[in-house]
Amino acid sequence: MVVRKEKKSRKYRGYRTHGWGTKGQHRDRGKEGGRAIGMHKEKWSWLVKYGEGWYGKHGFRNPTSKLVSSINLRMLQNLIDNGTLKMVSEGGKNIIDLEQYGYDKLLGGGTLSQPVIIKVKYATEKAMEKIKQLGGEIILTSKE
């Protein structure tokens, strides 16, 4: 099918039907039905089966916002206990690189049970205080 170089509406200014005739005027789409037909009517069974999330409001995400994946001290301790996060021992000190596990920020909720050196992009003041009280250290790797 050839693509139009100009919009048809520009050529037909002053002509009421724009070449679509007097009855339907380009309202129907053949066998699919007119504009009154839709997913909420005869296609409802298709919608229930395949169209999850078709209806309703779905929110808005600001395109200028930055997504920061964060973890607090409580979750960090749980992941250490489970063995999900592995600590590396260098010179008798335990080191955790949170960027390696996909975390950008350390939050101060909860406590840790042992002194740890943590490498992370960002950390809150509360988290830094709690780790220093334990005898650990936070190394911030962000360039900001």
**pLDDT confidence band for 53 (50 / 70 / 90):** confident
- 58 belongs to a structural domain: no
Domain membership of residue 108 as a residue range: 70-140
CATH of the domain at 133: 3.100.10.10
- 108 belongs to a structural domain: yes
The 3-class secondary structure across the chain, one letter per residue, is: CCCCCCCHHHHCCCCCCCCCCCCCCCCCCHHHCCCCCCCCCCCHHHHHHHCCCCCCCCCCCCCCCCCCCEEEHHHHHHHHHHCCCCCEEECCEEEEEHHHHCCCEEECCCCCCCCCEEEECEECHHHHHHHHHHCCEEEECCCC
Q: How confident is the model at residue 2, as a pLDDT?
A: 78
What average pLDDT does the segment 32-53 reach?
A: 75
* Residue 35: pLDDT over 70: no
* Residue 33: pLDDT over 60: no
- 57 belongs to a structural domain: no
* Number of domains comprising the chain: 1
- 106 belongs to a structural domain: yes
- 92 belongs to a structural domain: yes
Give pLDDT tens digits for 108-132.
Answer: 999 999 999 999 999 999 999 999 9
